[in-house]
Structure 1
Amino acid sequence: MQTHNLGYPRIGGNRELKKACEGYWSGKISLHELQSAGESVRRNNWEVQKEAGIDLIPSNDFSFYDQVLDLSMTVGAIPERYHEVILKKGNNELDLYFAMARGYQKDGLDITAMEMTKWFDTNYHYIVPEFKKDQQFKLFSTKVIQEYIEAKNQGLITKPVLIGPVSFLLLGKEKETGFDRIDLIKNILPVYLEVLKKLEDNHVEWVQFDEPFLAMDLNDKEKDALVYTYGEIRKAFPDLKILLANYFDCFGANLKTALSLPVDTFHLDLVRCPSQLDDILESGLLKKRKSLSLGLVDGRNIWKNDYLKSQKLIEKAINAIGSDRIFIAPSCSLLHAPIDLELEDEKGLSAEVKDWLAFAKQKLQEVKELGTLTEEKLAKNQASIQSRNKSKLIHKNEVKERIAGLPESIDQRKSPFSIRQQKQKMALNLPLFPTTTIGSFPQTTEVRSWRAKFKKGVLSKSQYNKNLESETIKAIQWQEAIGLDVLVHGEFERNDMVEYFGEQLDGFLFTKNGWVQSYGSRCVKPPIIYGDVSRPSKMTVDWTSFAQSQTEKLVKGMLTGPVTILQWSFVRDDQPRKDTCNQIALAIRDEVIDLEKAGIKIIQIDEPAIREGLPLRKSDWQSYLDWAVKAFRISASGVQDETQIHTHMCYSEFNDIIENIAAMDADVITIECSRSQMELLDAFGEFNYPNEIGPGVYDIHSPRVPARNEMYALLEKAVQVIPESQLWVNPDCGLKTRGWEETKSALIEMVSAAKLLRESISEPIG
C-alpha cells in the first residue's frame, strides 16, 4: 500500500508566512523577502513529509492567501476592476493578487476586495471567483508549474494539487444574469489542459484533482460537466495518473457518476462517511485497475487515530481489491489541523491529554504506520485510546443531570418579538437607524504585548488591568465623541472570540502553538473540548460593567454563541455534537442572565458559524438546524422582554435557511453585506424578516476606508428592502484585526452616512 497526503498547513510552524505577508503589506519587508519566506515554508513542508515516509507528497498546496484565489489567478479569472493595479509602476503579480483579496486604496485607485465566504462546512474562508457570461479564460499565473519544478529541484517528484474545474466554477458566483456558471466549463477546460501539458513536459506522474462538490447535491448538468471534463482530460493525457479527491462527506447520489470517470484513484473521506467504503465495494462499479485512497486519519480534528477501527476498513478494502490498489491518506487536506504537537509543552497540555492527540505532523506518522501496522504499534495506539476512554477528566455528573432535566420551555422568550420590540424602544430610546459596531476594536501591538507580559508574569495583574481600563476608557470616550449610539467596550482583554470563553469554561483545553489558518494571514488557535462543559464563574460581567460605568450611553455585552464555540473548537468525538452544544448553551445562558442582573440592557451573542455547521446535503439539514437553533435560543431566552438580544453572522448565504434564522428569534441580527453589495439582504426582504437587522456597510477584512457616500448608497439599497424601523447601521464584523487609523476614519464616515440617511428619510429613497 502506498501513502499520500492531500495538503499540508502553509502558515509555518511559527506562523512565518503570516508575519511575512503582514510585513510586506505594511512595507516593512521587500517582495524578495516575502517570496523567500514562502519558499522556506514550502521547502520545510516537503522535507517534513519526506521524512515521515509519505510516498506521494503534494505540491501547489501552498498559498500566500487562498488556494481558490490562486486558481483564479492561474486561469485568468481576474475581474476588470483590478486590471489597473498591475499597470501601476512598481506593482507585481502578488500586488494584484493581494488587491483581489484585500482591496486596493492607493495610487489614486480605490478598489473593493472580492467576496469571501466559508470553505464548505469549515472555518476556512476562500475568495469567491467572479464570472461573466461567455467569460474567456487564459493561463495567467504558472504557480502550479513553478512549484512542481521547485520541488523537483529539491529532489522530490510531487503530486500537484488542483481544484477541479467543476468545483472551481461552482465555488464562484455569476456577476451577470442570464447564464449558469457551469456553462463556462468548455471555456475554462483549455487552460487546465495547458497547465497539464506544461506539467507533462516536466515529467509529472500524478495529479490530484479536488472535486469536493461531489459531496454536495449536484444536478444533471453539473454531473454531465464532470463526465465531459475528465473525459477530455483523459483523451488529452492518456498516461497521466489522476487522483480524484472528494472529502467532507460521501459521494452519495453522485457515486455512479464519480465511479464512471476515467481516473486512476478515488479518494474517500472515511472519517466523515465510513459507510461509503461498503457502498463502493458492493456497487460493482469500481472497475479493475482503479484504486482507492482511504482517508482514515482525521484531517479536521486533533484526536489520535484509533488504529483498530482503521485496520478493519483497510482489511475490508484489501480483501475486496488487493493491497496494491489501496492508498492510505488523511481524510482531507491537513490545512485544517495545527502543525506540530511537539511544539506544545506540559504547561498547556498535560502528558495524559497530549497522549490523546495528533497534529498535522503526527497525522503523517499515523498515515505511514497504518500502511505498515505492526502488533507493537497497534498495542501502543490502543493504550492511548483506552486511556482517554477511561479518563476521569472527561465526565461530570452535575452537567449531565442539568442537561437531562431541562424544561421544554427553556428556549422560549417570555413574549413574542412584537411585544418585546415596543418595550425595548421605550427602555432603550434609540434614534432611527441606530449605529453600533460588532464588538472588538483594534488590538495594537502594545495591547498584545501587555497580554504576553501578563501571561509570562512580567506584568502584575493589577497593572495589566489598569492598562486595559485605560484603553477601555479611551475607546468609550472616542465612541461618544463620534456619535455612535450603542457602544462596545472594545474587548481589549480578549485574545480570541472563542479562546477567551473556552479559557474560562470547564471542559476546555488550550494549546500554545496550535494555530490554524482562517483566511489570509488570519490564524486562530481553536480550543480543544475534551470533556463536559460548565461555567465555574462569571466571564464578562466585570469588564462590561466597568465600560458601562464610564458612559450614559448603552454598552453592549459581548458573548460568543454556543454553536460558534462548538464549530470553532476541536470537539470531543465520544458523544453527539448536539449534547456538547447544549452544555455550552447553558454556560452562555448563565452569563447572559448575570449580565442582565448587572444592568446591561443589550447583549450580543455572536453566531457567525451557524451556517457553516450545515451538513453538505440538504436532506441532512433539518436535524442540525433543529438543535443548533434551539441551542442559541437556550443561551438567549433567560432574560426579560426589555433586554435586547443581538446576534451577528458573517460570510453566510441565508436564502435557504432564512426561516431558521428567523426562528432564532434574536431581537437584532447584524450580517455581512458590503462585499456582496447588499445581495445577502435580499433573502431577508423576500422572507419579510420580522425582527431588526443591521446589514454591514463596510468590509472590515480590507484595509481600505470607504467614503460616506459609498456607505450611504448601501444604506439606500437596504431601506428598499428593510423597513426603516428595523434597520441598524454597523460594519460587517469585529475590528480587532484592523488598525486604529483606518478604523476611526471608517467609523466616522459610517456615523455620518447614518445621520445623512436620517436627514433624508422624509424624502423618497432611491
Structure 2
Amino acid sequence: MSKNYVIGFPRIGEKRELKKVLEQYWLGEIDFLEVEFVSKELKKRHWAYQKSTKVQYISSNDFSYYDNMLDTTILFGAIPKRFQHLKDEELYFAMARGTKEAVAMQMTKWFNTNYHYIVPELSKQSNFTLNSKKIIQEYKEAKELGITPKINLIGPITYLALSKTVDNSDVFMHINRLVEEYAKLLEEISTLDEEIILQLEEPIFVKDVEPKLLSLLKPTYEKLASISSKVKIAVITYFEHSNEATKILVNTPIWAIGLDFIYGEKNFEVLEEIKTSNKVLIAGIIDGRNIWKSNLRKKVELLEKIATTIDKNNILVSTSCSLLHVPFSLEYETALDKEIKSWLSFAREKLEELKIVSKIFFKEELSLEDKAYIKRNEEDNEKRKNSLKIHNKTVQEELKTLTKLQREEKFEKRIKAQREFFKYENLATTTIGSFPQTAEIRQVRRDFKNNIISKEVYEEKIKEYISDCIAFQESIGLDVLVHGEPERNDMVEYFGELLEGFAFTKNAWVQSYGSRCVKPPLIFGDVSRQKPMSVQWLTFAQSKTSKVVKGMLTGPVTILNWSFVRDDKPRNEVAKQIALAISKEVDDLQNAGIKMIQVDEAAFKEGYPLRKENIKIYEKWAVENFRLSVSSAKIDTQIHTHMCYSEFNDIIKTIEAMDADVISIETARSGNRLLKIFKEVGYKQEVGPGIYDIHSPRVPSVEEMVEQIKALLEVLPKEQLWINPDCGLKTRKWPEVKLSLENLVKAVNIVRNS
C-alpha cells in the first residue's frame, strides 16, 4: 500500500444525501434515527472509496451533521448558557440554527474559503467537560469495516483562536483547562487500538500570529504527545505556509507535521528543520481547493524536490487540505463538454491521482491500467494548454485599450444628485435582494432547463412570482423594492451561465454550511458578455410599481472567489475580464431605467490572503476591479454593495476605496461591533446594517427590531442609515419572511415617529 494520506473527505454525499435528510428532519417529516441511518451509510461509502484507491491514512471524525467546529464545542462541553437546557440533537442544531427563544451562535468563513463554521462562545465562566461518544463510535464503525482510521480533530490552539468571548475576557485564559480535556480524550482513545493516529489541525498558524500564540505550541504539544505512547500526533496546517509554528513543533515529541505545498510554497524553507528532527512530513501536493486535473509529472517533480532534503521514508504524500472544498465526483457530469471534463478532477478523482503519484514517487510497480492513466493524464494536460476554447482575443484587446476605470464624480456630489433623484426617507427600508426560492419556482426552472415547458410558459411563471413579490413589498410599505430573483439558481452561477468562459456542472456541489451547498462555476477561459443578463426581469419588475426597484448584480471579486478559477492565468486578470462584463450590464440597466443597482461583493473579504505580506496586492486589484465594474454608472445612478460575515476593522479603508454609495453588512449576530468601526474612521457613505439574522428561522418581534434600530442610531446618524435584513432571503420560507419584513417596517415607522 502506498504511503499516502487524505486530510479529510466531503461528507454531504455524492447526491447531497446528508443535505436532503437533514432538511426533512428540520421540517419534522422524519425523526433523527433516519438522519443517523443515512449518515452511517454515507461514512461507510466514503471510507470504501478511499480504501479502494489504497489510501493508507483514512479519516474518522471528519464527518459532521453540520460543522466540525460545532462538533468540537459539543465534544468539550463549551455550551452557551441559553442552550444548556437542551440535549442531544436538539441542542446541537439549536446552537447552529437558533430557536424561537434563542439566537443561533455566530457563523463565519473558515479562513479564506467559502465554508462557514460555527464560532464558539466563551466567557470567564466557561467550563469544559469531555463527551467523546461521537469520536469513539465513529472509530469503531470504521474498524467494523476493516479500516483502521486516523482520528481528525481541530487542535486546541486553533479552537480557542477562532472562538469569541461574550464578556471581553481573553480566550486563552482557558488553554490549560482545555488542554486537560484534550489529554483526557487521548487517554480514552489510547484504549481503542495498539496504535492511534490523531490528526490535530492547527491552521491558525498559517496566519500572521502574535508571539503569545506561538508560545503556546511547545507546552501544549509536549503535554499531549506525552499522554500515551500509543497515540501518535500529526499536527496539520493548510492554505498557506506555517514556518514559525513548524520551527517550534519540530522540537516537540509529535509524530508528524502536515504542510501545504500548493498554497504554501514557503514551507520549503523549513524542510531542513524537519529533516533534523526526524519527523514524518505529510506533504500536501494534491490540490484540495481547486478542480483542475493534476499534472502527474509535475507532482512527482515537486515531491522529488522535497526529497532532496527529507528522506523518502519520512514522507507521506497527501492532499493539500481536506477534500471538503471540492465537489464529490465527476461520475454524474454526463452533460458537461467532454473536452472541459477531461481537464477536471473532483474528490474521488483526486484519490486516484494521489494513488498514482504515490506509486510513481515510491517506485512501486505500475499496472497496465496505471500506465494508461498516466498517458491519458499527459494528453489531457497538453490538450488543455493548447485548446482554442480558452483564448478570446477580442476581450484581451478591449482590456488593453480601456481608459475609464472608475466613476468620475466624488461621493459627495453623487449622493446629492441621488437624494434629489430618488427622494427616499432617512432609515430607508429595503432587502438584500433574493426572496424565498420555493419548491415551485425551482421546479419551473428545472422544467424549462429540461425542455419540459416552453420559454413562454417559463417566462410567465417567473413574471407571476416577480409580480407577487413586488405586490407583497408594496403592501407592507418597504421603500426600495427588489424583484426577488426567481430566475436565479445562484448569485454566481446565474451570471456565469450568461458569460463566455464559464462551464457548469449538474452535480458538483460543495458544502457551504450545514445543509447549504453551492455549485461553483468553472472559469476555464477568457470571460466576456454577449448580451444583457438581467435587464428583462428588472424592467418588468419596475413596470409593476411606481416605487424604486433595485437592480441586483454579483460583483467581479465575488464571482471570482465563488468559482473554481483557471490556474493558467493570474486571478487579477480573470477578475478584470469579469469586471468589464459587469460594467456593461450596469450601463444597460441604467439606460433601461434601473438607476439603483446593487453590485454584491459578499465574498470580497473571503479572498484575502492569509499573510499580511500579500494583502496589499490583493486589495489593490480587488478594489480596482470593483471600481471598473461600476465605472459606467452615471452621477444619479446609486451603486449599492453587500458584504456578509466579514470582520471589517482591518479592511475599512479598503471598503472606503471601493467607493460604493451604499454598503449593506451583516451585524445581526455580532451586535454593533462591526458598525462602530464605520463611525471611528468617519465613513461618509451610507450603510445598511442587517437588523435581523436570516440564517435562522426565528422571527424577531417589532420591539426587538426597534431596540436594534435605536442601537444603530447610537453609532451612526439616521441620514446615513438604511434598514434591511442581514443577507438575502433565498433560503427562508415565505411565512417567516413576511412576518419578519412586516415587523421590520413597523419598527422603522415607530422609530421615525418617535
TM-score over 0.5 (shorter chain) = yes
Measure the CA separation in 1 of the matches of 2:474 and 2:204.
48
Aligned sequence identity (%): 47
Matching residue's letter, 2:656: A
User: Where does 1:361-400 land on structure 2 (aligned, <5 Å)?
Assistant: 361-373=348-360, 377-400=373-396
* Structure 1 contact 294–327 (Cα < 8 Å) conserved: yes
Q: Is 2:156 the counterpart of 1:165?
A: yes
Alignment TM-score, normalising by the size of structure 1: 0.95
SS at match of 1:479: helix
Which residue does the alignment assign to 1:97?
A: 92
Measure the CA separation in 2 of the matches of 1:323 and 1:218.
31
User: Where does 1:233-632 land on structure 2 (aligned, <5 Å)?
Assistant: 233-277=224-268, 279-281=269-271, 283-345=272-334, 347=335, 349-373=336-360, 377-407=373-403, 409-411=404-406, 413-632=407-626
Which residue does the alignment assign to 1:198?
A: 188
Measure the CA separation in 2 of the matches of 1:61 and 1:500.
32
Measure the CA separation in 2 of the matches of 1:99 and 1:140.
18
Measure the CA separation in 2 of the matches of 1:41 and 1:287.
41
Measure the CA separation in 1 of the matches of 2:173 and 2:297.
46
* Structure 2 contact 132–185 (Cα < 8 Å) conserved: no
Measure the CA separation in 2 of the matches of 1:257 and 1:196.
22
In structure 2, list runs of 5 or more residues that go unmatched: 361-365
Alignment TM-score, normalising by the size of structure 2: 0.97
Q: Deviations over 1:397-423 (max 9, x none)?
A: 11111122222x412x22111111111
* Structure 1 contact 399–533 (Cα < 8 Å) conserved: yes
Matching residue's letter, 2:402: L
Measure the CA separation in 1 of the matches of 2:89 and 2:192.
25
Measure the CA separation in 1 of the matches of 2:84 and 2:231.
35
Which residue does the alignment assign to 2:363?
A: none
* Structure 2 contact 395–528 (Cα < 8 Å) conserved: yes
SS at match of 1:372: helix
Which residue does the alignment assign to 1:230?
A: 221
* Structure 1 contact 441–736 (Cα < 8 Å) conserved: yes
Measure the CA separation in 2 of the matches of 1:260 and 1:580.
43
Which residue does the alignment assign to 1:764?
A: none
Q: 1:284 to 1:166 in 2, by over 3 A?
A: closer
Measure the CA separation in 1 of the matches of 2:136 and 2:676.
42
* Structure 2 contact 275–310 (Cα < 8 Å) conserved: no
How far is the alpha carbon of 1:285 from its aligned partner? Answer: 4.8
How far is the alpha carbon of 1:535 from its aligned partner? Answer: 0.3
Q: Is 2:640 the counterpart of 1:650?
A: no
SS at match of 2:722: coil
SS at match of 1:401: helix
Q: Deviations over 1:52-102 (max 9, x none)?
A: 110110010001111100101101111001112x1xxxxx41111100000
Matching residue's letter, 1:303: W
Measure the CA separation in 1 of the matches of 2:526 and 2:689.
36
How far is the alpha carbon of 1:316 from its aligned partner? Answer: 2.4
Measure the CA separation in 2 of the matches of 1:515 and 1:684.
36
Q: Deviations over 1:680-704 (max 9, x none)?
A: 1121121121100000001000001
User: Where does 1:10-29 land on structure 2 (aligned, <5 Å)?
Assistant: 10-29=11-30
RMSD: 1.2
Measure the CA separation in 2 of the matches of 1:187 and 1:756.
48
Measure the CA separation in 1 of the matches of 2:230 and 2:265.
31
* Structure 1 contact 433–754 (Cα < 8 Å) conserved: yes
Of the structure 1 ranges 156-165 and 284-293, higher mean CA displacement relative to structure 2 is found in 284-293
Measure the CA separation in 2 of the matches of 1:293 and 1:648.
39
SS at match of 2:426: coil
Which residue does the alignment assign to 1:189?
A: 179
Q: 1:270 to 1:160 in 2, by over 3 A?
A: same
| Paired residue total | 743
Which residue does the alignment assign to 1:38?
A: 39
How far is the alpha carbon of 1:324 from its aligned partner? Answer: 1.5
How far is the alpha carbon of 1:432 from its aligned partner? Answer: 1.4
How far is the alpha carbon of 1:307 from its aligned partner? Answer: 1.2
* Structure 1 contact 450–464 (Cα < 8 Å) conserved: yes
Measure the CA separation in 2 of the matches of 1:331 and 1:111.
38
How far is the alpha carbon of 1:715 from its aligned partner? Answer: 1.2
In structure 1, list runs of 5 or more residues that go unmatched: 87-91, 761-766
How far is the alpha carbon of 1:268 from its aligned partner? Answer: 1.2
How far is the alpha carbon of 1:456 from its aligned partner? Answer: 1.2
SS at match of 2:38: helix
* Structure 1 contact 695–730 (Cα < 8 Å) conserved: yes
Of the structure 1 ranges 28-37 and 133-142, higher mean CA displacement relative to structure 2 is found in 133-142
